[in-house]
Structure 1
């Protein structure tokens, strides 16, 4: 396993070896990257995830090898040479090629020919030594093989299968597909005028080298094919491939060569091309999936680590026209206080009543900030709220509603607020999302948040794994207040999981707030391993020990106590004293277990314990004169917020229903390899309007520096 992982990564051998050992001890990725830096050589989460990925690939490969070896051995066909080749196979493709001749097949033309006794005749042809092929064929004519032509045909079927099973030939064709394959599309005429098909119109007739087809385009093409609007082919130069196979197999001229040539053509068209063209498309799809998932994961990370307002009393509004705007008031910890519906917009247009209600609620609940969902009627509601002359300064934010409707109808929301309907739950989610995006977004299926592209077309298992890792890494990077965290948030803490998260919340409800990390051990079924993995990421505000509100792991408390003792101070006296902490001779505290990497982390944390790594939320102002796409003019310079990132650019909210696209070509004066290097999700930017297509609701923008 070590050699396999080493070969597939550029990581140091010692780091891989120690990481594999930690994984074998059921240590989690966040715990390893944060608290075992000396062992791993300071590997980060992404590098450790790489090791985990190749570890699992190796285990899958070894399991498949064992299955294949057993199957071939049971057939009595396992030679020492074949066993060695199987054991040495470095990937599943090589392995399956080796197994192909021994794999149990459904009834094939070659199998029928063998049963009819034609395999010896096929060998005669392949020897290419027979001058009188018809005489040889006559010997195999029988009741099941009534003529010479039937004997030749049956032999060709067997030869075609042999050709199909040759690893060298398969690899030659694979290489050709890899380098020269063309993907082409053709519209299904009966569907050409279908309204749903129009978004795929660009691919009604399309072709390009498959190796150059970008991820988003390939996924769009495959979706169009899946929905029945187009047909897709992956092709290479057939004659060139046939010539190359001929050259490998045919060593003479005459009747045998002619029969082999026919078998080669049959093998390619009937067996090799369908299998290997599909294999090439599957490989291309896999790479496209990986690209799309990587973009989705980056977007999700940026969204989860979005700027929190923090513990503020919030009035949240889920805007709407006909059904009104749902208003809720939340305390500083996100607890529900009150809800009401207001009707500032048509058909009721009760603007005066709306203003009066908001003023009353702001005063009654000491509201510090207002969160307005960015959906229908958002700009109209924002305009009314901003006209209110509040006595105290109230910050007004427009908050993304992405996924709020998913949460409001979920089991989690029903359990949290069983007495309220989906509209009230949605408003609560909007308010809580302003206070702490991470804590609220972990309650929503990440695929439903809408920060990616083609997330329902990619490998769902791979996507889920990637997104789960992102959520876990973000939650553990920020840390979790154990006395206020929900079950979904606690579930993502290293070593905890769903069941222990429920037990923590139940214990908290029955016994009150936790006062120390040590008390966490009293939670039913939370054993030593779970405590070791999770304690450093669980925070306790105003607890018995100031270190409990930091990322210093309990296993290092004695070290901190020793440092404080050597300084002749209490722990509380050294926390936050940056000058003093920086003067500590760290080398004096190094040991076999504790190195400078861990010591530097501890000192950094003691300087600013519990510091949130996220930037605080900032109020953003759209251009108030822009309300609909009709208000846009070419050349306008506008403020906007990045609300989605794709492989070909990013989408920007400029304060209207339709988001504008900054194509990669309009993002910088130089080539843009990675959109994320130029913009971040939820980033506040300035854009220039390049093109407005009102009919198609499309807006082209340029990033202004």
Structure 2
């Protein structure tokens, strides 16, 4: 069995057979959603998280194996590969260990040690290093050679020290010992660059800052690196020099002052810079992973927000001077009509705007009105609610983050080539009310406004992490193949952009799909793609009722046998609880289909194509609270969570500026992870702690009034810094257009 399989099984506490089967499926082209849903018998019911971990780890280990092969080949070509060295390289478990073993043989630019060797000083270095209780000067005198550039004893000893320093730096055990010291006892030390004090005020708490590498939270690591990148601070990362030198001297120095000098040179000139680079990269990687995890979890919650469902919607992108853009959408989200109204200042055409809205609601049988939460949102909401529209028409404020990004995108231009960005933005607001997932997949996740330091983390890892979330959400919900956009279909298991486009083209040319089997006629949608995708695609009006369910076509025969055994049709079996209760699952177990899959099938028959998202609940902000100036300390308000960071949550209370609930204010009890307390789009009740109109800052609390211990000055200082970083990050999530809107709202 592959050693990598064994290693992953140990690391993830999974069975060898589970890991081996999962890797085999992945290698055959199966997707994570498909494996977790339809191959439970093969993997022992591993979930998406475990399968994703196996996928990522096998990729890492295989990359390391490729590097191992390259290293072995390179050393062998040099004629220096011994059995002992090969054994060590084969046993290396980390990339750092591999590179340490390779370092002495790695082609490098001309070093001081190489120069010394060219002068014939390596024998002297060996003598000094191996036999430290000798007359060094007497030995060095033997190597004086003016023709080789060794003029005197000091030059000979200096060259020998250069060679010894390189040997010490390339000693694998020493590097590992110092690496562990950097990781466990390393300290980030930040200092402001002279003259940058005023420019870098937002980083002022890092002007004189030190913190252990091992325990530094991800957001502070990323904040310090950003400040360093902007050339506001200098940032170092190392343990106490004396601790490192003590370890190296204890290992190598046995009496010779020349070796002691070489050790110090090896550490300061060679090993310390190398280790600092490594630790900075490893701490950055850990910080990236944590930030990406925060972003991914927020994105998952946002994508799986409760949909209003198929309703006729009038959507409004509110505004003041340029008016409010209005669009009417049918139950499938098709644009029927668009116009502009001016109910707010400065035009204030309230009567005309009201008549227009009432007319449109009647003409298009509107069931809900969606209002963007940007500039003029509360004023527009108040205007609409004053019209006395039928009670059946819900008025709902919708988070419009990213709508402007979508409206200017190629996707929007292709979808609405004859309409400008304002119409496209209003359509996006309306559609994200009826089905947030279907609309938000059209927008780059980085523009949706739920990230933390997303511009600072590794962009490849970020994209992979976010794509995994989108794919997981899309396949968990399922996709109606006859109405889905190309963008939504792209994320379905086994498809991708090309096949998704082919599905849309086929649908346009031949009409709606009538069966899942018809998908096989789509160009490039071969047997493998069909296997991976079919279970996640729905056809609501299909003749076969199973085509609108999550039952995979490969299991249709099993369901037909169940129905036949009970003397009814498949349709009757799906509608009759009593009949389904008579199914004896053991009768249908085979070598390839076990109880987990059979249980899933019966559950799906009870609720075919069920949507895992929660039911939609309308929400309203407090009336009369529309601007930060309306807020008073101690006031209790309803709000919606819009973003979550490691140190708190942002909450929209309807005043055009999100307030921050710091992690210390999320609950009466201790909170180590905000995601354990709140979710994106969650409806919460908050209390106003502080309103700073000059800096447009709002501090909120979800704690009971008067609860919680007093915090120290240091804790309060850290809280302030984290609140500052969080506010800046929340602003960084906005597009330029959205930032301008925010500024216009602030200074109108």
TM-score scaled by structure 1?
A: 0.98
CA contact (8 A) 1:686 1:704 kept: no
In the alignment, structure 1 residue 230 sits paired with structure 2 residue 229: no
In the alignment, structure 1 residue 176 sits paired with structure 2 residue 181: yes
> Aligned partners of 1:449 and 1:620: how far apart in 2?
21
In the alignment, structure 1 residue 106 sits paired with structure 2 residue 109: yes
In the alignment, structure 1 residue 97 sits paired with structure 2 residue 96: no
The secondary structure found in structure 2 opposite 1:561 is helix
CA contact (8 A) 1:645 1:681 kept: yes
Deviation at residue 132 of structure 1 after TM alignment: 2.2
Corresponding residue to 2:150 among 140, 145, 149: 145
In the alignment, structure 1 residue 42 sits paired with structure 2 residue 41: no
> For 1:650-678, what per-residue CA distance to the aligned partner results, in whole angstroms no more than 9, with x for missing partners?
11111112211111111223322221111
The secondary structure found in structure 2 opposite 1:266 is helix
Residue 687 of structure 1 is matched in structure 2 by 686
Segment of structure 1 superposing worse, 401-410 or 501-510: 401-410
> Aligned partners of 2:642 and 2:592: how far apart in 1?
45
CA contact (8 A) 2:432 2:438 kept: yes
> Aligned partners of 1:577 and 1:696: how far apart in 2?
62
> Aligned partners of 2:274 and 2:375: how far apart in 1?
50
In the alignment, structure 1 residue 191 sits paired with structure 2 residue 190: no
Segment of structure 1 superposing worse, 4-13 or 639-648: 4-13
CA contact (8 A) 1:658 1:697 kept: yes
> Aligned partners of 1:15 and 1:104: how far apart in 2?
42
Residue 4 of structure 1 is matched in structure 2 by 7
CA contact (8 A) 1:641 1:654 kept: yes
Deviation at residue 308 of structure 1 after TM alignment: 0.5
Deviation at residue 236 of structure 1 after TM alignment: 1.1
> Aligned partners of 1:329 and 1:274: how far apart in 2?
62
> Aligned partners of 2:365 and 2:700: how far apart in 1?
41
> Aligned partners of 1:542 and 1:521: how far apart in 2?
18
> Aligned partners of 2:111 and 2:634: how far apart in 1?
66
Residue 156 of structure 1 is matched in structure 2 by 161
> Aligned partners of 2:598 and 2:230: how far apart in 1?
57
Deviation at residue 145 of structure 1 after TM alignment: 1.5
CA contact (8 A) 2:128 2:134 kept: no
Aligned-residue CA RMSD in angstroms? 1.2
> Aligned partners of 1:243 and 1:191: how far apart in 2?
37
> For 1:527-552, what per-residue CA distance to the aligned partner results, in whole angstroms no more than 9, with x for missing partners?
00000000000000111111000000
CA contact (8 A) 1:576 1:609 kept: no
CA contact (8 A) 2:368 2:395 kept: yes
CA contact (8 A) 1:8 1:54 kept: no
Deviation at residue 704 of structure 1 after TM alignment: 4.8
Matches within 5 A, 1:118-517: 118-129=121-132, 131-143=134-146, 144-194=149-199, 197-251=200-254, 253=255, 257-391=256-390, 393-517=392-516
Deviation at residue 389 of structure 1 after TM alignment: 1.1
> Aligned partners of 2:348 and 2:193: how far apart in 1?
49
Deviation at residue 60 of structure 1 after TM alignment: 0.2
Deviation at residue 4 of structure 1 after TM alignment: 2.5
Deviation at residue 129 of structure 1 after TM alignment: 4.6
Residue 666 of structure 1 is matched in structure 2 by 665
> Aligned partners of 1:542 and 1:477: how far apart in 2?
21
> Aligned partners of 1:688 and 1:13: how far apart in 2?
52
Residue 64 of structure 1 is matched in structure 2 by 67
CA contact (8 A) 1:574 1:606 kept: yes
> Aligned partners of 2:195 and 2:245: how far apart in 1?
35
> Aligned partners of 1:372 and 1:514: how far apart in 2?
34
The secondary structure found in structure 1 opposite 2:702 is strand
> Aligned partners of 2:332 and 2:522: how far apart in 1?
23
CA contact (8 A) 2:626 2:654 kept: yes
In the alignment, structure 1 residue 700 sits paired with structure 2 residue 665: no
Segment of structure 1 superposing worse, 508-517 or 219-228: 219-228
Deviation at residue 198 of structure 1 after TM alignment: 2.2
Residue 639 of structure 1 is matched in structure 2 by 638
TM-score scaled by structure 2?
A: 0.92
CA contact (8 A) 2:397 2:620 kept: no
CA contact (8 A) 1:576 1:608 kept: no
> For 1:615-643, what per-residue CA distance to the aligned partner results, in whole angstroms no more than 9, with x for missing partners?
13221111112222222222211100000
Question: Runs of 5+ in structure 1 lacking a partner?
Answer: none
> Aligned partners of 2:472 and 2:392: how far apart in 1?
36
> Aligned partners of 1:577 and 1:680: how far apart in 2?
37
Matches within 5 A, 1:581-620: 581-620=580-619
> For 1:347-366, what per-residue CA distance to the aligned partner results, in whole angstroms no more than 9, with x for missing partners?
21111111111111111111
> Aligned partners of 1:210 and 1:109: how far apart in 2?
32
> Aligned partners of 2:421 and 2:703: how far apart in 1?
40
Residue 562 of structure 1 is matched in structure 2 by 561
Residue 84 of structure 1 is matched in structure 2 by 87
Residue 58 of structure 2 is matched in structure 1 by 55
Segment of structure 1 superposing worse, 616-625 or 154-163: 616-625
Residue 623 of structure 2 is matched in structure 1 by 624
Residue 551 of structure 1 is matched in structure 2 by 550
Residue 716 of structure 2 is matched in structure 1 by none
Matches within 5 A, 1:638-657: 638-657=637-656
> Aligned partners of 1:582 and 1:277: how far apart in 2?
65
Segment of structure 1 superposing worse, 678-687 or 177-186: 177-186
> Aligned partners of 2:220 and 2:245: how far apart in 1?
31
Deviation at residue 319 of structure 1 after TM alignment: 0.9
Deviation at residue 205 of structure 1 after TM alignment: 1.5
Deviation at residue 343 of structure 1 after TM alignment: 1.4
